[in-house]
Each structure stands twice: as C-alpha cells, then as structure tokens.
Structure 1
Amino acid sequence: MGWFLVNIAVPLLAPVFVLFMLRPLPLPAGARSSLKWIAPVKDGQLCWVAIAFCASALYEYGTIASELATPPAALLQISNGLANVCLVMSSIVATGGALYSTPVEKPAHISWPRHFSCFCTSLFFALASASLYAIIHFGMR
C-alpha cells in the first residue's frame, strides 16, 4: 500500500492538493479563477506524470529482466510494449497541451468532456501508465 501511495497517488493528486493550499491566500480577483481544480491539469499536465510512470516501469523491466534466467511472462512483455507506446503518446499530448492552451471557463455550447479533451486524454494515459507500472512492478518481483 505504501508503494502505491508514494509512487502512484501522490504524483497524480499533488497538483490539486497544492491548489487547495493556495486558496486561503489573499490573491487578486483576477487570479481567483486560476484556483479551480481543473486549472493545473487542463492542458494535459497529467501526461508528464504518465511519462514518469512509463519511464519507471521501463527501468524496472529492463533492470530486473536482465537478471532473470528465463524471459519474463507474456503479460509483462506486453505491458512493457504498451508502456513504450504510452510513453510516446503521452509525450505528444503533453507537448500539444503546452502549445494549445484550453481556457478555464467552459463555453455554454460545448460539453465538458469535449472542452477539456486534453485533460481527459491525459487522465486516461496517466491511469493506463500507472496500471502498467503496477503490473510490471509487482509482476517482476
């Protein structure tokens, strides 16, 4: 449980927790809108977490697999391949989100998932990479 909290939960939840710590500060009225929970993650910033998860998973797979006498199980090999794909896709989304910012305020005529599609995509990659990291971490032990 400790591994999961330190390596998965904290990186995913840290941006929102930091935001709540800033709420009591006497910020100017214009800066108040940037304290919405979506502000620190709306442009695909969770993909940076996904990249770190994938890199950690690939490192564990590479270092432990080289020490094994037999090849890792098929599920671990597939997870390793998916972690590579997730790493590349997360890099593309993180870059695109940095280049093309989404406004915090959602227009009335656009659905929430459509307006924050970069966030939804980055959340998917973050959760997928966290799952792959956990599969590789616990499967290689």
Structure 2
Amino acid sequence: MGWFLVNIVVPLLAPVFILCLLRPLPLPAPARTSLKWITPVKDGQLCWVAITFCASALHEYGTAASQFVAPPAALLQVSNGLANVCLVMSSIVAAGGALYPTSAEKQMGVSWVRHFSCFCVSLFFALASAFLYAIIHFGMS
C-alpha cells in the first residue's frame, strides 16, 4: 500500500495539493483567480505524470525481465506494449497542451468536458499509465 501511495497517489494529487498550501497566502486579487483547482492541470500537465509512470514501468519491466529464465507472462508483455503507446501519446498531448493553452474560465455554450478536453485526455492517460505501472510492478515482483 505504501508503494501505491508514494508512487501513484502523491504525483497525481501534488499539483492540486500545492494550491491548497497557497490559498492562505495574502495574494493580490489577479493572482487569487489562478488558484482554481483546474489551473495546474488544465493544459495536459497530468501527461507529465503519465510519462514518468510509463518510464518507470518500462524500466522495471526491462530490468526485471532480464532476470527471468522464461519470458514474462502475456499480460505483462501486453502491459509493456501499452505503456510504450501511452508514453508516446502522453508526450504528444503534453506538448500540445503547452502550445495551445486553455483558459481557466469555461466558455458559455461549451460543455465542461469539451472546454477542458486536454485535461480529460491527460487524466485518462495518467490513470491508464498508473494502472499499467501497477500491473508491471506487482507482476514482476
């Protein structure tokens, strides 16, 4: 359980937790508006977390797989392949979010999911990569 909290939960919640630490500070009004929970993750920043999850999973798979006499189980091989795909896709979304930022205010007439689509996609990749990382970590040990 400790591995899961330190390696999965903390990186996912750190951006929002840091905002909670900044709220009590006497910030000027323009800076206070940027303390919305969506601000640190709206432009695909969770894809950076997904990239690190994938890299850690691939490293763990590569180092542990070399110690096995028989090839790893099919689920681990599929998870390794999906981690590679997730790594590439997360890199593209992270770069795209940096190039084309979204405003923190939802526009009228646009659904929340559509306005924050980069966040939704990055959340999907972060959760998927965390799941793949956990499969590889616990499957290789």
Bucket of the pairwise TM-score, normalised by the shorter protein: over 0.9
Using the TM superposition, give the Cα deviation of residue 108 of structure 1 relative to its aligned residue in structure 2, in angstroms: 1.5
What is the rounded CA distance, in whole Å, between the counterparts of 1:101 and 1:31 in structure 2? 18
Q: Map of 1:39-50 to 2, 5 A cutoff? A: 39-50=39-50
What is the deviation of 1:32? Answer: 1.2
For residues 138 and 81 of structure 1, the distance between their equivalents in structure 2, rounded to whole angstroms, comes to 17
RMSD over equivalenced CA pairs, Å? 0.4
Q: Partner residue of 1:67?
A: 67
Note the residue ranges of structure 1 that are not aligned, 5 or more in a row.
Answer: none
Structure 1 runs of 4+ aligned residues shifted over 6 Å read none
Amino acid corresponding to residue 74 of structure 1 in structure 2: A
Q: How does 1:52-131 map to 2 (within 5 A)?
A: 52-131=52-131
Kindly indicate whether the alpha-carbon contact (under 8 Å) linking 1:33 and 1:104 is maintained by their aligned counterparts in 2: no
Give the 3-state SS of the residue equivalent to 1:53 in structure 2.
helix
**What residue ranges of structure 2 are gaps of 5+ in the alignment?**
none
Q: Deviations over 1:58-85 (max 9, x none)?
A: 0000000011000000000000000000
Q: Percent identity?
A: 81
Normalising by structure 1, we get a TM-score of 0.99
In the alignment, is residue 3 of structure 1 matched against residue 3 of structure 2? yes
